[in-house]
Amino acid sequence: MKRLLLLAVPLLVAGCPGPEAERGEPAPSPSPEVVDATPMPALDVLGRVRERERLICGVSANLPGFSIQEGDAWNGFYVDFCRAIAAAVLGNPGAVQFRVVAPTDRFAAVQRNDVDVLLLPTPYSLTRDAIPHIGFAPPIFHDHQAVMVRQPKPSKPTPKAPAQRPIQRLADLNKRSICVESGISSRVLQSYLTQAKVAASLQTAPDLAAVLNQYEKGTCDAISADLSQLLAWRSRQPQKQEHTLLPDRLSWEPLSPVVHSGDDRWRTIITWVVFSTIRAEELGITRQNHGALRSRPDPEVGRFLGTQDSLGIELGLDPDWTTQILDSVGNYGEIFERHLTPLGIPRAENRLRRNGGRMESMPFR
Q: How confident is the model at residue 154 (pLDDT cuts 50, 70, 90)?
A: low
- Res 240: pLDDT: 78
- For residue 280, is pLDDT > 90? yes
- Res 229: pLDDT: 86
Cα 323 from Cα 316, distance rounded (Å):
16
- Res 6: pLDDT: 41
Cα 165 from Cα 172, distance rounded (Å):
9
- Res 71: pLDDT: 86
Convert 281-294 into a string of H (helix), E (strand) and C (coil): HHHCCCCCCHHHHC
- Res 112: pLDDT: 95
Q: What is the mean pLDDT of residues 49-57?
A: 97
Across 24-164, the runs of DSSP E, i.e. the strands, are 55-59, 68-70, 73-75, 96-100, 117-118, 134-136, 141-150
Domains of the chain: residue spans and CATH: 2-140+256-355 (3.40.190.10), 144-253 (3.40.190.10)
Q: How confident is the model at residue 311 (pLDDT cuts 50, 70, 90)?
A: confident
- For residue 119, is pLDDT > 90? yes
- For residue 347, is pLDDT > 70? yes
How do residues 220-260 score in pLDDT, each as one tens digit? 999 999 998 898 888 888 777 789 899 888 889 999 999 99
Cα–Cα–Cα angle for 20, 13, 225, rounded to 5 degrees:
5
Which of 28-32, 89-93, 284-288 shows the lowest mean pLDDT across its residues? 28-32
pTM of the model: 0.81
Q: Residue 99, exposed/middle/buried by CB under 10 A (0-12, 13-18, 19+)? A: middle
Three-state SS for 155? coil
- Res 39: pLDDT: 56
- For residue 104, is pLDDT > 90? no
- For residue 11, is pLDDT > 70? no
How do residues 59-71 score in pLDDT, each as one tens digit? 998 888 999 998 8
Cα 80 from Cα 347, distance rounded (Å):
17
Q: What is the mean pLDDT of residues 133-160?
A: 82
- Res 15: pLDDT: 39
- For residue 279, is pLDDT > 90? yes
Which of 123-127, 253-257, 260-264 shows the lowest mean pLDDT across its residues? 123-127
Q: What is the mean pLDDT of residues 327-345?
A: 95
- Res 2: pLDDT: 40
- For residue 219, is pLDDT > 50? yes
The residue that leads in pLDDT, 22 or 79, is: 79
- Res 291: pLDDT: 82
- For residue 359, is pLDDT > 70? yes
Cα 258 from Cα 107, distance rounded (Å):
8
Cα 116 from Cα 132, distance rounded (Å):
16
Buried b (16+ CB within 10 A) or exposed e, 57-83: bbbbeebbbbbbbeeeebebbbbbbbb
Q: How confident is the model at residue 164 (pLDDT cuts 50, 70, 90)?
A: low
Cα 260 from Cα 258, distance rounded (Å):
7
Cα 72 from Cα 11, distance rounded (Å):
46
- For residue 13, is pLDDT > 80? no
Beta 177-181 vs 201-205: how paired, if at all?
parallel
Q: What is the mean pLDDT of residues 128-147?
A: 94
- Res 262: pLDDT: 92
Q: Residue 50, exposed/middle/buried by CB under 10 A (0-12, 13-18, 19+)? A: middle
Contact assessment for residue 281 and residue 301, using Cβ atoms and an 8 Å cutoff: no
Cα 92 from Cα 320, distance rounded (Å):
12
Residue 199 phi/psi, 5-degree rounding, is -95, 70
Which of 184-188, 240-244, 306-310, 331-335 shows the lowest mean pLDDT across its residues? 306-310
| Residues of the chain above pLDDT 90, percent | 49
Q: How confident is the model at residue 74 (pLDDT cuts 50, 70, 90)?
A: very high
